[in-house]
Amino acid sequence: MSAHDLFRRSPLHDQLASEHGDWEAFAGMQTAVRLPGDDVPAPIVLADASCLRRLGLKGPQAEAWLRDRGVSTPNVNGWTRTAEGAIVARLGRSEFFLEDRPGGTTVAGWRDVLEAALGIYPPGIYPVARQDAAIALAGERAGELLAQTCALNFQVAEDGRREVVMTSMAGVSVLMLWQEQGGEPLYRIWCDGTFGPYLWEALLAIAREAGGRAVGFARLFPHSVGN
C-alpha cells in the first residue's frame, strides 16, 4: 500500500456509520462490506463503492501512455476494461478516467509509477486527482429511480454499447456508466466527494419509498472481499 492510500476515508462514511454493519479495510479504506438485510431481496439497492482506487489522466500523450501499457483505448464517451478488469473510460479527446476492479491493482500500480517520479511526470501527461464518492445502484426498479433523478435515458446504454456519460442527478454533476453484474444491470455513479453525502441521501430516500435499501459493498461486488 502506498502513502496515497493511508487514512483514506469514504465521503459516504458518516451516512453508513449508523447502519451497524460489518466494516473492513478494503483497498486502504474502511468500507461497509456487509449491512443487515443484505441477503433479503429488494427492488432497489445502493452500495458505497468509494473504496476502489481511481486515477485521472489527461494530456496529449495520455492515450499513448495507456497504449504502451497494453490498453486498447475506447472512443470518446466510451469505456472498456483492461485484461485485469480495470475500467478505462474516455471523457474527452485526451482525458481518461481509470478505476481498479475490486481486488485489482492495475490502476493503483500505474498511479504509483507516476508518483515515483516525485511530481516530474512524463511530458504531455497530467494526472488528475479523483476523490470521488462512488455509488453502485442495482435492482429491478433502479430504472425508476434514475427516471426521477436524471434526465438521461439509460435504455440507450443497455443495448450493449459501453457508454460513459456526464450528466446531472438530483442536481449534482455525475459521471455514470452501465454494466452487467451477474446478468443484472449495475449502474455506476461518481461525483465530487463533497456532494456525495447529499446525493447518497437523496437517492436512498427515493429507494426506500420503493422498498429499497442500502447494502454492503460485498452485496453488489460479491467476489471482492477476501481478494
Q: Where is pLDDT greater, at 183 or 1? A: 183
* Whether residue 192 sits in one domain with residue 111: no
166 belongs to a structural domain:
yes
* Whether residue 189 sits in one domain with residue 207: yes
Q: What is the pLDDT of residue 119?
A: 59
Q: What is the pLDDT of residue 227?
A: 41
Using pLDDT thresholds of 50, 70 and 90, give the confidence band for residue 110. confident
Q: What is the pLDDT of residue 150?
A: 87
227 belongs to a structural domain:
no
* Whether residue 215 sits in one domain with residue 137: yes
109 belongs to a structural domain:
yes
Q: What is the pLDDT of residue 1?
A: 43
* Whether residue 109 sits in one domain with residue 86: yes
Given 79, 110, 128, the domain boundary residue is: 128
222's grid cell: 460479491
* Whether residue 143 sits in one domain with residue 175: yes
Residue 47 maps to which CATH number?
3.30.1360.120
Q: What is the pLDDT of residue 3?
A: 44
The rounded mean pLDDT for the chain is 87
- Tell me the C-alpha to C-alpha distance, in Å, between residue 55 and each of 11, 65, 87, 167: 17, 14, 10, 20
How many CB atoms lie under 10 A from the CB of residue 192? 15
Q: Where is pLDDT greater, at 192 or 127? A: 192
Given 128, 158, 179, the domain boundary residue is: 128
Write the DSSP assignment of 20-73 as a string of letters.
--EEEEETTEEEEEE-TTTTS--S-EEEE-TTS-EEEEESTTHHHHHHTTT--P
102 belongs to a structural domain:
yes
Q: What is the pLDDT of residues 136-167, one digit of tens each?
A: 999 999 989 998 998 776 654 555 568 899 99
* Whether residue 215 sits in one domain with residue 159: yes
pTM for this prediction? 0.90
Given 128, 156, 186, the domain boundary residue is: 128
Rounded to an integer, the average pLDDT of 125-135 is 90
Q: What is the pLDDT of residues 56-88, one digit of tens each?
A: 999 999 999 999 989 999 999 999 999 999 999
* Whether residue 121 sits in one domain with residue 99: yes
Q: How many domains does the chain have?
A: 2
Residue 114 maps to which CATH number?
3.30.70.1400
* Whether residue 151 sits in one domain with residue 45: yes
Q: What is the pLDDT of residues 86-107, one digit of tens each?
A: 999 999 999 999 999 998 989 9
Whole-angstrom Cα distance, residue 201 to residue 124? 39
How many CB atoms lie under 10 A from the CB of residue 8? 19
Whole-angstrom Cα distance, residue 58 to residue 6? 25
Q: What is the pLDDT of residue 220?
A: 94
* Whether residue 88 sits in one domain with residue 44: no
Domain range for 69 is: 54-128
Residues recorded for the chain: 227
Q: At what angle do helices 142-149 and 196-209 cross, to 10 degrees?
A: 130
Q: What is the pLDDT of residues 19-61, one digit of tens each?
A: 888 999 888 899 999 999 999 999 999 999 999 999 999 999 9
225 belongs to a structural domain:
no
Whole-angstrom Cα distance, residue 47 to residue 10? 12
* Whether residue 43 sits in one domain with residue 14: yes
13 belongs to a structural domain:
yes
* Whether residue 137 sits in one domain with residue 216: yes
226 belongs to a structural domain:
no
* Whether residue 83 sits in one domain with residue 66: yes
Q: What is the pLDDT of residue 54?
A: 94
Q: What is the pLDDT of residues 184-226, one digit of tens each?
A: 889 999 999 999 999 999 999 999 999 999 999 999 998 665 4
The region, left, alpha or beta by phi > 0 then psi within -120 to 50, assigned to residue 135 is beta
